Structure 1
Amino acid sequence: MIGLIEYNWQVRDEWLDWCEMLSTEQLYAEQTGGAGSILYTLFHIVEVENSWLRAVQNKQDVPYIFEDYSSLDEVKALSNTLRKEHALFLRTDLDAVLNQYVQVSWDNQIYQAKDILHHLIIHEVHHIGQLSIWARQMNKQPIESHYVGRQLKRVEEYI
């Protein structure tokens, strides 16, 4: 599971770097079939990951507001800052956590931690697919999404 999280982090960084070639209008243009704009989608990925991972750690949710992180540099910085905190957690013994039950502040249901981690992986991959479609609609080459052959940066390297 950690390998897929590392994959998501690497691909997210590549998408954030890819965005540097876009105009402000392209970054903020409302897209069809997604969370909103390209930049908002990347922010959304970071914010959702943070909320769920804090819940798994039994920490209070700290919601972030897009208007406070509404530039590409701010979204990159937020992603990097939160990732350091999450990398510290993920390098612990996850086996001890995976079967624990988690209650989140925004939902009445109780979830197993392993299901939350699976959700996070799928959530980001889903949005990566949307970003790829939007890139092609702009006649731009999307980030390669393949897993095989990637030299993944390990969780420990983010600390």
Structure 2
Amino acid sequence: MYTFFLYNWQVRDQWFEWCQQLDQSELLKQRVGGIGSILHTLLHIVDVEHSWIQAIQGKDDILHDFNDFTTLEDVVSLSHKYREDIKEFFNNHPFEQDHSVKAAWIDDTFTKEEVLQHVIAHEIHHIGQLSIWARELGLNPVSANLIGRGLFSS
């Protein structure tokens, strides 16, 4: 499962790089789908990933005001900070050990495996939205190919 987090992080970093060709107004322009803009969709991806990992660990969610994240650098910085937290989680939290996960923002309870798979699928879903927006801008999107990324090299 960790391989898919590595995949999502690689693709996310490529989207961050891709976004550097856009000016601030394009990053914040309201669009159909996602969270409304390219920048806030990327922030949403980062936020949801970290929030669910916090929930798995029984920790409080950290709420963000999206208005505080107005630049690509703001979102990249948060992504890298949280990525280190998530790597620490994977290094110190036995994957085999499954338990119920209860998040503060939803009434249901889930298994850890369910949550991790949800987080992976959630990012892939939003990356698809970014790809559509890229095409609408007349630009090539980041490749979503899993193979050829060196994630399965021995």
TM-score interval, normalised by the smaller of the two chains: over 0.9
Structure 2: 5+ residue runs without aligned partners?
A: none
Partner of 1:94: 95
- 5 Å-filtered alignment, 1:29-108, equals 29-92=29-92, 93-96=94-97, 99-108=98-107
Runs of 4+ in 1 over 6 A off after TM superposition: none
For 2:121 and 2:54, locate their aligned partners in 1 and report how far apart those are by CA, in whole Å: 18
Structure 1: 5+ residue runs without aligned partners?
A: 154-159
**Equivalent position SS for 1:31:** coil
Structure 2 length normalisation: TM-score? 0.94
> Are 1:137 and 2:136 an aligned pair?
yes
> Are 1:19 and 2:19 an aligned pair?
yes
Partner of 1:156: none
AA of the residue aligned to 1:28: L
Q: Percent identity?
A: 41
Partner of 1:127: 126
**Equivalent position SS for 1:5:** helix
Structure 1 length normalisation: TM-score? 0.91
- 5 Å-filtered alignment, 1:104-123, equals 104-123=103-122
For 1:121 and 1:5, locate their aligned partners in 2 and report how far apart those are by CA, in whole Å: 7
**Equivalent position SS for 1:95:** coil
In the TM superposition, residue 151 of structure 1 has moved relative to its aligned partner by 2.3
**Equivalent position SS for 2:76:** helix
